Amino acid sequence: MRNRLRGFLGVDVEDWFNMTILESFGHLLEPSEAVVRNSERLLELFEGEGVKATWFFLGEVADRFPALVRRVVEAGHEPAVHGYHHHLVASLSPAAFRASLVKAKQAVEQAGGAMVLGYRATDFGINRRTWYALDIVSEVGFRYDSSIFPFGGPRYGMSSAPCVPHWITTNSGPLYEIPVTVVRLLGLRLPAGGGGYMRHFPWVYTRLALSRAQSCGQPIVFYAHPYEIEYPAPLPSLPSFLTARQVHALRREHSRQTRNRQHTVGKLKRLFKLCGFDTMGSLYAAEQTRTGPTAWSQTSRSCASETR
């Protein structure tokens, strides 16, 4: 146990079905009971493994299921915000983005009875195009952000961003950025800190990548979703407004998204043996109180100043 890695875990609390309907077809549906059922299973798993995490709630989930937010807080975890609906940052005007953050922050704080310090954009949507959003994040009262994925992926990512936690100067003051873990291998930045990557990649890759990242000066910053542990996961009843082509696309996406979910819980248990996890807020608090530089606030030897 003395060689156990140190990590910080974020859970993005969203309902896969209603989020996919919104992102793919532009229709708003209420989150379903599935998000509660799967989150409660995660809470039980975390309790058994001695894990603490930051739960990035969509505001719509907090408004519909406030008891879930309270259970998370009562279990000793940290509540945080993931937006109100699962809109991408780039799809909202600055005014609409600000309104979404304010509404979501109020919903999560009211449901959980605890102050919220952290924010994570949907689909890690902070990049060069949406950099202005960090000014708004700081303005509405968040103190740290975990929206930057420092690698160049097909859907998201910012390959020039530092790989280690760092301060960002905004128009409303400093904001602490906690990026998700990537690792530099074969001259490339590769993702290592997400449930989907853990699910699809061999366990040996996850173990070696996380160990290498921490040995090079990076904390382990990992994320997961409650729906990733649901297996089997039948597709819910489909809304009547979907066309035949949209139904086909949704079924194909569902098949892709549920692939290898049967391995998620087992791999999470392996992960928790490899790495002890705490909240993202604990990393922010440590940075607030430290008196001298740490390895994680300096340039990482592996990739902090390199681009892909």
**pTM of the predicted protein model:** 0.94
3-state helix, strand, coil in the chain (%, to 5): 45, 15, 40
What gap in Å lies between CA 234 and CA 219, rounded to an integer? 36
pLDDT averaged over every residue in the chain: 92
What confidence tens digit (pLDDT) does each residue in 19-58 have? 999 999 999 999 999 999 999 999 999 999 999 999 999 9
Name the residue with tokens 């505001």: 59
DSSP 179: P
Q: Tell me what pLDDT residue 3 has.
A: 64
Q: What is the pLDDT of residues 96-131, one digit of tens each?
A: 999 999 999 999 999 999 999 999 999 999 999 999
Confidence band for 154, pLDDT divided at 50, 70 and 90: confident
The backbone torsions φ and ψ at residue 103, rounded to the nearest 5 degrees and listed phi first, read -65, -40
> pLDDT class for 187, splitting at 50, 70, 90?
confident
Query: Can you give the pLDDT at residue 180?
Result: 96
Helices then strands, counting H and E runs in the chain, come out as 11, 11
- How far apart CA 281 and CA 149 sit, in angstroms, is 18
* Structure-token pair, residue 37: 């059922």
Q: Are 208 and 272 in contact (CB under 8 A)?
A: no
For 70-105, the pLDDT digits (tens) are 999 999 999 999 999 999 999 999 999 999 999 999
Of 160-174, 217-231, 278-292, the poorest mean pLDDT is in 278-292
**Is the model's pLDDT at 301 over the cut of 60?**
no
The pLDDT of residue 122 is 98
Q: Which whole number is the average pLDDT over 251-275?
A: 97
What proportion of the chain, given as a percentage, has pLDDT over 90? 87
- The CATH architecture assigned to 5-288 reads Alpha-Beta Barrel (3.20)
Q: How confident is the model at residue 308 (pLDDT cuts 50, 70, 90)?
A: very low
Q: Is the pLDDT of residue 248 over 70?
A: yes
Q: How far apart are CA 190 and CA 305, in angstroms?
A: 15
Q: 81 pairs with which residues across the strands? A: 57, 119
Over range 261-277, report the average pLDDT.
97
DSSP string of 31-84?
PPTHHHHHHHHHHHHHHHHT---EEEE-HHHHHH-HHHHHHHHHTT-EEEE--S
Task: Give the whole-angstrom CA distance, residue 192 versus residue 190.
Answer: 6
Q: What confidence tier does 294 reach under pLDDT thresholds 50, 70, 90?
A: very low
Residue-range domain boundaries for the chain = 5-288
Helix pair 203-215, 264-274: axis angle to 10 deg: 30
Instruction: Please say if the pLDDT value at position 300 is more than 50.
Output: no
